[in-house]
Amino acid sequence: MKEVPELHLEPYTGAQGRIRLPGSKSIANRALLLAALAEGTTVLRNMLDSDDTRHMRAALRQLGVQLQTRDIDGELQVEVQGLGQLFNCPQPQRLFLGNAGTAMRPLCAALAFSQGEFELTGEPRMAERPIGPLVDALEQLGAQITYQQQEGYPPLLIRGQGFSGHSVCIDGSLSSQFISALLMVLPYNQEDTLVTLTGELVSLPYIELTLAMMARFGVEVERISAREFRVPSQQSYQSPQQYLIEGDASSASYFLAAAAIAGGPIRVDGVGLQSLQGDKEFARVLAQMGANVEWGDEFISVSKGALRGGVFDLNSIPDAAMTIATTALFAEGTTEIRNIYNWRLKETDRLSAMAAELKKVGAEVVEGEDFIRITPPQQLQHASIATYNDHRMAMCFALLGFSDVGVTIQDPDCCAKTYPNFFHDFQSVCKK
């Protein structure tokens, strides 16, 4: 059996500094697709260089898009020559997308109405992440998609063809990515399309992010009500020439929480009041718990306060919510995080994984179908934390470095999915 690498984080006595965040994965992969479909050439600035964005870039090249990368003073830029249309591939294409949901879902929608035959596959975990609600919606509009293994899950075989239909219902209870993927392809319909959202909606800020990015690339969507949108027909994406990818707000959470626990101040640059990302609201949750938070248009700064637990509905920020679970170990009283069922559908079953690893350090944990309740112990215990090949498990448990006994993180390299330099940057703000 292959030995799993480990990283031991010694007990740290404080945290202070300033961090420039890497680009947002959610924005980066959306921007890559929109730039590929747009008329004209787009330079994407502050591009995140991670496993997920590499899978998207490789897929776009395979689909005939010309991309050039360059490093400008430490900033990765990608120049994308847009096609000005959906994809057209005379030969069948097999696209391997790793475990990148932000590549699988939007490419599924775009390729459903492109010309060609496409097989979308990935790592074993991808075959456990649902895509049925998106496929159901695309089939309402005439798509031909075949599940190659389990019904409702990748891998998929797509035989691209044109639209047939002008209204569609889509279930948004499992992932907002399904809705975002659908919205991004609908401007190519020959008729105006009425989109109706069903189910209890999750991660709504990500839909707002998608709409804002579509508008930046020249496509407007009409909001009829909270659950209805009209996408005007025969629109085309237009290059904005340059597009700056915001710093990743989910990644900001680890540094902001470190400051709230261990002193601070820590300032993260690249996300702030003007950010499109819903995960910026993580800082408001920290403030509710007692941290001191300062906001700027493009930065957030946090310093320590007397942290206390509470009950938080974090349906709208599920990724950053994981950081609250580990921050709770340093708060007085019990913390309950509610309405987070879609943790179970991510890179791993995060509810089950989080409960198991929190118990290792001595916490009293109640795991529900869509909530987790955490009561910290009198004394945290050292543990070797399993990360389940899930970058966010590794990053949020780094906060245990501020306990009196430190922490050991298994497979720290899994952070390459979104933040390859995370532990270098994290340790740069920690004080021994």
- Spatial distance between the Cα atoms of 212 and 368, rounded to a whole number of angstroms: 35
Say if CB 67 and CB 43 are below 8 A apart. no
- Catalytic residue positions, numbered: 319
Confirm whether residue 392 is marked as ligand binding. Answer: yes
Dihedral over Cα of 216, 300, 270, 98: its sign:
negative
Confirm whether residue 180 is marked as ligand binding. Answer: no
Confirm whether residue 319 is marked as ligand binding. Answer: yes
Confirm whether residue 338 is marked as ligand binding. Answer: no
Confirm whether residue 101 is marked as ligand binding. Answer: yes
For 166-185, letters b (16+ CB in 10 Å) and e give: bebebbbebbbbbbbbbbbb
Task: Please classify residue 22 by burial: count the beta carbons closer than 10 Å to its beta carbon, then call 0-12 exposed, 13-18 middle and 19+ buried.
Answer: buried
Confirm whether residue 203 is marked as ligand binding. Answer: yes
For 203-216, letters b (16+ CB in 10 Å) and e give: bbbbbebbbebbee
- Spatial distance between the Cα atoms of 9 and 405, rounded to a whole number of angstroms: 9
In 37-175, the DSSP E strands lie at 41-45, 66-72, 75-81, 93-96, 116-121, 144-147, 156-160, 167-171
Confirm whether residue 216 is marked as ligand binding. Answer: no
- Spatial distance between the Cα atoms of 168 and 159, rounded to a whole number of angstroms: 20
Confirm whether residue 225 is marked as ligand binding. Answer: no
- Spatial distance between the Cα atoms of 160 and 141, rounded to a whole number of angstroms: 12
For 119-128, letters b (16+ CB in 10 Å) and e give: bbbbbebbee
Peptide bond preceding 318: is omega within 30 degrees of 0, i.e. cis? Answer: no
- Spatial distance between the Cα atoms of 271 and 251, rounded to a whole number of angstroms: 10
Confirm whether residue 94 is marked as ligand binding. Answer: no
Confirm whether residue 280 is marked as ligand binding. Answer: no
Confirm whether residue 284 is marked as ligand binding. Answer: no
- Spatial distance between the Cα atoms of 354 and 237, rounded to a whole number of angstroms: 41
Confirm whether residue 177 is marked as ligand binding. Answer: yes
Dihedral over Cα of 269, 270, 273, 279: its sign:
negative
Confirm whether residue 308 is marked as ligand binding. Answer: no
Which of helix, strand or coil describes residue 290? coil
DSSP 8-state assignment for residue 2: P
Report the Cα–Cα distance between both ends of the chain, in Å, rounded.
35
Residues contributing to the annotated binding site for 3-phosphoshikimate: 25-26, 30, 175-177, 203, 319, 342, 346
Residues contributing to the annotated binding site for phosphoenolpyruvate: 25, 101, 129, 177, 350, 392, 417
Residues contributing to the annotated binding site: 25-26, 30, 101, 129, 175-177, 203, 319, 342, 346, 350, 392, 417
